[in-house]
Amino acid sequence: MRFPARPAQAPPKLPEWDPAWSRIVEATTPEGPRSFHVLDTLEVLRAEGLEPSGTILALHGNPTWSYLWRHLARATVDAARSGGRVWRLIAPDHLDMGFSERLDHESLPTPHGAEVRRMSQRIDDFDAVVTPLLAEVAGSAAARDAAVGAETTGHDGPANVEHPVVTIGHDWGGVLSLGWAARNTDFVSAAISLNTAVHQPEDAPIPAPLRATLAGPILPTATVATDGFLRVTMSLGDLDPAIKDAFRSPYENASRRHGIGGFVADIPVDENHPSFSELQRIGADIAAFDAPALLVWGPKDPVFLERYLRDLRQRLPQADVHRFELGSHLVSEDYDVAGVVTDWLEARFPTDGAFPTDGAGANPADTSGENAAAADTSGENAAAENAAAEDATAAPPARGVTAILDARRDDETVASVDFSQNPAQQITWRHLWHVSTSIAGGLLELGVRPGDRVSMLVPPGNNLTAALYACLKIGAVAVVADAGLGPKGMTRATTSADPAWIIGELPGLGLARAFNWPGRRISVSPLGSVQAKLLKVDTSLTALSRTTHHAQLPTPAATDDAAILFTSGSTGPAKGVRYTHGNISALAAVLTRVFDVKEGTGLVAGFPPFALLGPAIGATSVTPDMSVTKPKTLTAGAISDAIIAGHATMVFASPAAYKNVAATASDLNKEQKAACARVELVLSAGAPVPLELMDAIAEVFPNASIHSPYGMTEGLLLTDIDRAGVTAAEATPNLGVCVGRPIDGVELALAPVDASGSSAATLEQGAEAQGRLSEFVVSAAHIKSGYDNLWATTAASAHDHLDGRAWHRTNDVGHIDAEGRVWLEGRLQHVVTTPRGPVGPGGLEAIVDSDAQVSRSSIVGIGPAGTQSLVAVLDAEGADLSPGLAPLDLTARLRDRVAEVVGHDLTAVLVAPTFPTDIRHNSKIDRSRLAAWADHVLAGGSVRTKV
């Protein structure tokens, strides 16, 4: 089959495409002159009187074309109009692809055929196109610096601060653009890549979709003779039919698809491939590239798998990473990648020209995580830490996380009691120190290094405590993902954290094997040879605990990462929250200071995160007999037995756990009741505690001060309210649930919510912030250091700076009353935007829940944003109600009550058959699912539809 040459041409009219972006560029390649179609925003910018002050060079992969970059083109032009840096986007179509020139070919493409355009040629093509285009703008570091005489700053900063040049690529365009950037470091300021691959491991197979396409005659059939390869690629994104057609428009027949087949044929699958050596050179060049970099990834990509991202992170250790956990190959079609890119460019290349250097000012929202040990102040709390250091009134630095454990190395008193063991296992401080120190040395001898990530697949108890503190002692980073996430959720979490090691009990190791989680594996107890081989286990904690103590263990710095704690996943894919050693030390200090926890205090921890803090605060920790993933399994008998074993005076659990404790209190014997009466402090976390539950808890622990701290994975203790405070709040009711006042060391600000349901960009404090529905924004030494591999999420949550400190946006909404008390009214994404203004669902839920016939409720919005109707959804469980429309008398009563208190109208009151909640706490209602169910029912659907 012969494929004739055809010149470049402009695209037809296409959706989301501005014809003014199209240029036909004649470029001189090493093989001679060729014509390229190029997306170039220069004409659009200059038509509006805007002169570029930065250039983005974009390169698409296969089988897309420059249409892939239309969102980025729009975003950069919009940013320029808004006063940001004026970025010009240049995105050529490869030869034989898109609307660029079609070359003359005599036959179908094959991996070793001469008709295939090779990697080296494509890089040369890219260079031939962009070099003269760069020279069109003065100051653009163009024409290889010499054309404009630009001074470069070397690798300590951007090649040209006044006019940075940044590359971006996707698919095979990613590795090619990275390779071109690495070979032009004299004027390239930064590099960005979406899903791509640099190195194919020898011990791993080529991804299945590519193996199938590369097989014999399938390659030309699937890529050229038919549009099968093109259609399969388009199915990897959530694309409208018109957008799919636009991507297919340059490839309408076989004569225009030769480049697709040629690109696939040029994938170097082994060392005999003509492009293999070129790819090796590109990989080495990329590893030497030390300018800023950003990697944006869609983990559900069936071709560019996690191993390719891991390889890129090793080659570009300075790179920021943002993963869209549910994104696939066409991640820029699934998510707002253009927004992430423009935000990153704004952070890296601010319009004032003050380029942030690596270190404390490198990027206040850096979440690379992998480099925390090397870049001490990469986290977004750097500004806060610096400000605190300069503040004469700032609290002194907290002790190291393992300081108390180390100080009590010869203490024979009880450190921990584990009721998850049968019989209950009790260990002393001396034993815990020796075991954790031996395991630390064993981990070092096994190859674990400071900064290595270690996934902990061990239930709370003595084994987890020993493993965790061993890791903390040597600077390894503990990765903790709640088993309640389920296999899929845990797989997403573990894969995103990319641990080098896994420590697990058999269920966790089985999951790791079944879902092929990354990391070398260590069992808790010794396994037989067959089982160890099946689960790919290297050794056991038992074996490591016999290691001779090392004379000197690595000493982690306060700014080194200590743990990655995953959120509950109740509002989307679970996020990894980065905590440094300093953050955890500060959290331990908060417990000690705010709740007067002294060394020797007995602590029953039915809330897993705090079970691990015992050794850090010198408390005797007791893990009660309960299922970690089912808080409701904690009984009054189990908690009282734990109190007795640990001589505990302090209890920590979730509201769901306490509810069952109160429900089973009648089963307690005289000794157990006496033990509960000795408890002095009861803490609850995970969700606000209503007064009636506090009263029920008080009956179990009659002499205890009962507190309900408010917090989240990103900040475990932020505000606090005791039972007396709840009673006072009940006497002067407001909308929502009162969670008290900020604890010592926590600063609170508000970002008011507008009519669209968005929170303001500016923060307010003091009287001006009172009484308005707002997002809560906090600053404290013990809040997270960042989100792991979520650069944009961290930037969005910590972009505020007030009084020289960085702040964290909690995504929780509510208000502060005249007494300075915090009232929660739900999550920002659940705000209902009515014609009368935004409504926090939690506020109305508190009103609805006060009715004796209601066990619990959820307020959801139905209809278009800005004109949403308020609908109350009631839980059928625990109430004498049937799914469907609520009884008329109840509906009328609730509507009257809501109208009386807030003046809003409830459009409908429904009863749902089930109430979806998060698994970790059994208390956070999934309002999004209830909203979808309510919308379905009100549209005439069945009330029995699964929520």
List, for residues 36-55, the tens digit of each pLDDT value: 999 999 999 999 999 999 99
DSSP letters, 653-696, are: E-HHHHHHHHHTGGG--HHHHHHHHT--EEEE-SS---HHHHHH
Q: Is the pLDDT of residue 327 over 80?
A: yes
The DSSP element (H or E) to which 643 belongs, if any, is helix 636-646
Q: What is the mean pLDDT of residues 89-105?
A: 97
Q: Is the pLDDT of residue 145 over 80?
A: no
pLDDT score for 609: 67
CB 646 within 8 A of CB 417: yes
- Tell me the C-alpha distance between 943 and 947, whole Å: 9
List, for residues 51-63, the tens digit of each pLDDT value: 999 999 999 999 9
Q: Which residue is associated with the tokens 């109840």?
A: 890
Where residue 359 falls among pLDDT bands split at 50, 70, 90?
very low
The DSSP element (H or E) to which 321 belongs, if any, is strand 320-323
pLDDT score for 150: 36
Where residue 608 falls among pLDDT bands split at 50, 70, 90?
low
List, for residues 380-406, the tens digit of each pLDDT value: 333 333 333 333 333 434 468 999 999
As beta bridge partners, residue 812 has 827
The answer for residues whose C-beta is within 8 angstroms of residue 624's C-beta and 6 or more apart is 419, 604, 605, 606, 634, 638, 639, 641, 642
**What is this structure's pTM?**
0.88
Q: Annotate 398-428 with b (16+ C-beta within 10 A) or e (fewer).
A: bebbbebbeebeebeebbbbbbbeeebebbb
pLDDT score for 105: 92
The answer for residues whose C-beta is within 8 angstroms of residue 2's C-beta and 6 or more apart is 105, 106, 107
Q: Is the pLDDT of residue 97 over 50?
A: yes
Give the max Cα distance, the chain: 95
CB 131 within 8 A of CB 294: no
895 CB neighbour count, 10 Å cutoff? 18
Domains and CATH numbers, the chain: 19-348 (3.40.50.1820), 717-782+800-828 (2.30.38.10), 831-947 (3.30.300.30)
Q: Is 201 exposed, middle or buried (0-12, 13-18, 19+ CB in 10 A)?
A: exposed
Extract the tokens encoding 534: 């099946």
Where residue 721 falls among pLDDT bands split at 50, 70, 90?
very high
List, for residues 746-785, the tens digit of each pLDDT value: 999 999 999 999 999 888 887 777 888 999 999 999 999 9
814's torsion region: left (phi>0), alpha (psi -120 to 50) or beta?
Answer: left
The DSSP bridge pattern shows strands 520-523 and 501-504 to be: parallel
CB 823 within 8 A of CB 735: yes
Q: Is the pLDDT of residue 377 over 90?
A: no
Distance in Å from the first CA to the final CA of the chain:
56
Give the up-direction half-sphere exposure of residue 936: CA atoms within 13 A in the CB hemisphere. 15
Q: Quote the DSSP letter at residue 505.
A: -
The answer for residues whose C-beta is within 8 angstroms of residue 752's C-beta and 6 or more apart is 759, 760, 764, 769, 772, 773, 774
What SS3 state is found at 74? Answer: helix
Residue ranges of alpha helices (H) inside 25-105 are: 42-47, 70-81
- Tell me the C-alpha distance between 460 and 628, whole Å: 8
Q: Considering only 459-463, 510-514, 802-806, 893-897, which range has the smallest mean pLDDT?
A: 802-806
pLDDT score for 160: 59
* 58 or 552, greater pLDDT: 58
- Tell me the C-alpha distance between 849 and 890, whole Å: 12
Q: What is the mean pLDDT of residues 213-222?
A: 83
pLDDT score for 384: 35
Q: Quote the DSSP letter at residue 207.
A: P
CB 632 within 8 A of CB 655: no
Q: What is the mean pLDDT of residues 697-703?
A: 96
What percentage of the chain carries pLDDT values higher than 70? 90
Which H, E and C letters describe 394-418, residue by residue? CCCCCCCCCHHHHHCCCCCCEEEEE
- Tell me the C-alpha distance between 27 and 289, whole Å: 27
Closest CA to 334 of 322, 345, 343: 322
- Tell me the C-alpha distance between 19 and 290, whole Å: 37
Give strand ranges (E) for 828-919. 832-834, 837-839, 857-862, 869-875, 884-885, 906-912
Give the up-direction half-sphere exposure of residue 506: CA atoms within 13 A in the CB hemisphere. 7
As beta bridge partners, residue 742 has 719
- Tell me the C-alpha distance between 55 and 33, whole Å: 24
CB 137 within 8 A of CB 130: no
DSSP letters, 696-736, are: HHHHHSTT-EEE--EEETTEEEEEE-BHHHHHHHHHS--SS
Q: What is the mean pLDDT of residues 552-563?
A: 94
CB 836 within 8 A of CB 848: no
Q: Quote the DSSP letter at residue 222.
A: I
pLDDT score for 140: 67
* 591 or 430, greater pLDDT: 430
DSSP letters, 797-840, are: HS--EETTEE-EEEEEEEEE-TTS-EEEEEEGGG-EEETTEEE-
Q: Quote the DSSP letter at residue 202.
A: T
pLDDT score for 607: 75
- The Cα angle at residue 828 between residues 826 and 834, in degrees rounded to 5: 90
Q: What is the mean pLDDT of residues 307-312?
A: 95
Q: What is the mean pLDDT of residues 728-755?
A: 88
pLDDT score for 201: 74
Q: Considering only 431-440, 798-807, 866-875, 924-933, which range has the smallest mean pLDDT?
A: 798-807
DSSP letters, 427-493, are: EEHHHHHHHHHHHHHHHHHHT--TT-EEEEE--TTHHHHHHHHHHHHHTPEEEE--GGGHHHHHHHH
Q: Which residue is associated with the tokens 């405590």?
A: 465
Q: How far is CA 538 from the centre of its chain?
A: 30
pLDDT score for 877: 81
Extract the tokens encoding 581: 């050693």
Where residue 159 falls among pLDDT bands split at 50, 70, 90?
low
Extract the tokens encoding 844: 């109305």
What percentage of the chain carries pLDDT values higher than 90? 69
pLDDT score for 856: 87
